[in-house]
Structure 1
Amino acid sequence: MLQHIKQLSEYFLIGVLAILPIVIVIEVVLLLKDLIAGTFFSVYGYVDSYLFTSILFAVIVVALSYIGYSLVQRRRSIIISTADLLVEKIPLINTIYRVSKKVIAMFSGGGEGNKREVVYIEYPKNDIWVPAYVTNRKGEWYVLFVPTSPNPTSGFTVVMHESKVVKSALNIEEVTSFIVSVGSDFPKADEVTRLPH
């Protein structure tokens, strides 16, 4: 009897873990739906007109699509450039804005220039290797963000000499998946055989 209960609880746990990604996606969709509906009815509460509110939302969708199109086609948008100029003149807000843009650009693979690198560093001691995002580089020095599992947005920032890092073939998406899955999703696992030991 005890063996059957143990096996049932094991199957139950495996079932919960299997359905968890679906539940997370559903929760994100419901959150977005509530956000959009809440905003829509909030605007409607001010103007008391479904037609005006619908037109306003259509204009916002077209404007956001145009901004996305401009960024993909020309690598810049007049709307974003104008917002950058305006925000740059406001003390404190300009720092928050600039930093948040850089962080978003790092995780989206965009930004000033190029594909972001991923490296391995020895942490917390020798012969223990962890992946890190290269956030900046000055000469032979790397500025690295070392994420923690399972939440890749938490972690710490370090500055290391290039002789102390080992370059990885993983991209940002792959290393993020590796961190979120607590190592179970490791697309280029064979590269660990090339780490010094």
Structure 2
Amino acid sequence: MRKYFLTGLLVLVPLVITVWVLSAIISTLDQSLLIVPESWTPQALFGRNIPGVGAVLTLAIVFLTGLLTNNLVGRYIVRVGDRIMKRIPVVSSLYGSVKQVSDTLFSSSGNAFRTPVLIPYPHADSYTIAFLTGVPGGDVKNHLVGDYVSVYVPTTPNPTSGFFLMMERSKVVELNMSVDAALKHIVSMGVVAPE
């Protein structure tokens, strides 16, 4: 009986968690229907709510925003909007921080989270997978003697939290694996080994 129960858990838990996460994402994205006039909502047009219409609308808005801002006039409007946001007292610090992080993470030319590495952590005799995020800068660089890199060490099984470390480059070993494979290895607590 125990064997069948564990087999059932192994089959159902990933399925239920996947459905739950997708449902949460779609219901959150469906909130974008609040900006649509009432007469254009699925409830008014078809007589009932259709899950996912808001998600499609959100994706369309993101795509159109990218399309419109990818030309000379769009970039000018974005620069003007950035300057306005940076002049509002409380908003400026929050907006600036979020913009800097998103520019780093989503930039196609950036290197953040594109290189899995092996580092000694939490002490010299044990190792973990981390992600190269850049090099230390500012005043921090002035206090480090030698060649250092910045790495992010995700926690298991939730890689969205973790630790930021600055380590000597000589102690960091670049891994020949994709970011997806490294994340699977971390989230699975080492159960799913990279190929």
Do both proteins adopt the same fold according to a TM-score greater than 0.5, normalized to the shorter chain? Answer: yes
For the aligned pair, the TM-score class normalised by the smaller chain equals 0.5 to 0.7
Q: Does 1:13 align with 2:6?
A: yes
Task: Answer whether contact 2:104 2:110 (CA < 8 A) is retained.
Answer: no
Match of 1:165 among 153, 169, 172: 172
Q: 1:82: how far off?
A: 5.0
- In the alignment, which residue of structure 2 is the partner of 1:120? 118
- In the alignment, which residue of structure 1 is the partner of 2:186? 179
SS state of the match for residue 186, structure 1? coil
Give the letter aligned to residue 115 of structure 2: E
Distance 1:33 1:144, change over 3 A: closer
- For residues 59 and 31 of structure 1, what CA distance do their matches in structure 2 show? 16
Q: 1:83: how far off?
A: 4.4
Distance 1:86 1:17, change over 3 A: farther
Give the letter aligned to residue 97 of structure 1: Y
Task: Answer whether contact 1:174 1:187 (CA < 8 A) is retained.
Answer: yes
- For residues 7 and 81 of structure 2, what CA distance do their matches in structure 1 show? 48
Task: Answer whether contact 1:102 1:111 (CA < 8 A) is retained.
Answer: no
SS state of the match for residue 186, structure 2? helix
Task: Answer whether contact 2:29 2:58 (CA < 8 A) is retained.
Answer: no
- In the alignment, which residue of structure 2 is the partner of 1:51? 40
Identity of aligned residues (%): 28
CA offsets per residue over residues 83-120 of structure 1, 9 Å max, x none?
43433333454443344445556665x35434722211
CA offsets per residue over residues 148-177 of structure 1, 9 Å max, x none?
110101111111110111111223222112
- For residues 109 and 92 of structure 2, what CA distance do their matches in structure 1 show? 18
Distance 1:100 1:182, change over 3 A: farther
TM-score normalised per structure 1 = 0.67
Match of 1:35 among 28, 38, 41: 28
Q: 1:65: how far off?
A: 1.8
TM-score normalised per structure 2 = 0.67
Q: 1:28: how far off?
A: 2.2
- For residues 124 and 3 of structure 2, what CA distance do their matches in structure 1 show? 37
- For residues 35 and 97 of structure 1, what CA distance do their matches in structure 2 show? 22
Task: Answer whether contact 1:107 1:172 (CA < 8 A) is retained.
Answer: no
Structure 2 segments unaligned to the other structure (5+ residues): 45-53, 137-145
- For residues 36 and 122 of structure 1, what CA distance do their matches in structure 2 show? 40
Distance 1:93 1:9, change over 3 A: farther
Query: What's the Cα RMSD here?
Result: 3.6
Q: 1:38: how far off?
A: 4.8
SS state of the match for residue 128, structure 2? strand
- For residues 101 and 173 of structure 1, what CA distance do their matches in structure 2 show? 25
Q: Does 1:87 align with 2:80?
A: no
